A = this chain, B = another copy of it.
Amino acid sequence: METPDSPRPKFRRRAEARPDEVLDAALELFTEQGYARTTVEQIARRAGLSKGAVYLYFPSKDALLEGLVTRAIGPLTGAAFEMIAAHKGDPRPVIGQFLRMLAAAMSDEKIRAVPLLVLHEAPAAPDVAALFRRAVLDRALPAITALLAQGVAGGHIRAIDPELTTRTIMGPVLAHMILSRVFGIEPEGGLQMEKLVENHLSILFAGLEPPKGDAT
C-alpha cells in the first residue's frame, strides 16, 4: 500500500521512483507465476535491487499486492460513473462507449494484469479483493444498472431486468479476457477485443430494441 512519499527522501541513490519499479517487477512476476510462487528475492532481482531494499519501501510481501491494487485504482474517479448513472435518453450509445473503453483498457496488458491478479489471488487475499471490489465493481455495476433502469422507464429499451442485464453487457468482455489469459484460448488471429465488442454490441443493441409502437 503506502508508497512512502510523504516523508520525502531528500535524495535517492539511483532513481527517485524506486517503489514504482518494485511494483512493476512484482506485477510481472505475480502475473507469470502467481503470488505464492513468487519470492521477494525474485522481485528484488528483477527490480535491480536486493531483497532487503524491497523492505525499505514495503513492509511486507502482502503490502506489494495491496500496493499494486491501490496504484491501479488510483486514477479511477467517480466522475465517469456518475455521468453514466445520470444519463437521460437511450442508454445504448453510453453502453457502447463504456464497453469500447473497457475493451481498450483490457487490451493493455499492463492494465488488465491487476484485475486478473486480484481474480487469481482473491481466496488467499480477501482484503485485497474487497478493496478492488469497492473501488471498481461497486461503482461500475450500480451505474450501469441505473442507466438501464432509466432507459426502460423512458421506453428507450425493452423492459429487461436492469441488474441482471449488466451481466449480459459486461460478461462477454470479462469472460473473453479471462479465458484468453487463463487458458490461452483466443479466436484465430489474436485477441480481437475490438471485433468482439462490435459483434457483441450489434447483438445486444438489437436485443434491447423496444417493441414497435410506444414512447412514454
**Alpha-carbon distance A36/B125, docked complex (angstroms):** 12
Q: Which B residues lie within 8 Å of A199 (CB)?
A: 160-161, 164-165, 168
Shortest A182–chain B CB gap in Å is 5
Count of A interface residues, CB-CB < 8 Å: 56
* Chain B contacts for A174, CB-based, 8 A: 171, 174-175, 178
When distances are taken between beta carbons in the complex, the residues of chain B under 8 Å from A160 are: 199, 202-203
Question: Among B36, B133, B206, which residue has its beta carbon within 8 angstroms of that of A37?
Answer: B36
List residues of chain B with CB within 8 A of the CB of A171.
171-176
**CB of A106 within 8 Å of the partner chain:** no
CB neighbours (8 Å) of A31 from chain B are: 123
Q: How far is the CA of A158 from the CA of B200 in the complex (A)?
A: 12
A32 to B123, Cβ gap below 8 A? yes
Per-residue contact bits, chain A 136-179, to B (CB 8 Å; 1 contact, 0 not): 01000100000000000000001011011101101111111011
Q: Which residues of B contact A33 (CB under 8 A)?
A: 123-124
A101 cross-chain contacts in B, Cβ below 8 A: none
Identical chains in the assembly: 2
Q: Mark A197-208, 1 if CB is under 8 A from B, else 0.
A: 001101111111
Identity of the chain B residue whose Cβ is nearest the Cβ of A159 in the assembled complex:
B202
- Across the interface, A203 reaches (CB within 8 A) one of B119, B129, B183, B207, namely B207
Apart from A35-B36, A133-B185, A175-B175, what are 19 other A-B pairs with CB-CB below 8 Å?
A: A32-B123, A33-B123, A34-B123, A36-B124, A118-B182, A119-B119, A119-B182, A120-B122, A122-B182, A133-B183, A133-B184, A137-B185, A163-B188, A164-B195, A164-B196, A164-B199, A172-B175, A205-B207, A206-B206
Jot down 25 A-B pairs with beta carbons below 8 A, ordered by A. A31-B123, A33-B124, A34-B123, A36-B36, A119-B178, A119-B182, A120-B120, A129-B182, A133-B183, A133-B185, A137-B185, A141-B185, A158-B203, A161-B195, A163-B188, A165-B200, A167-B172, A171-B172, A171-B176, A172-B172, A175-B175, A178-B178, A203-B208, A205-B207, A206-B206
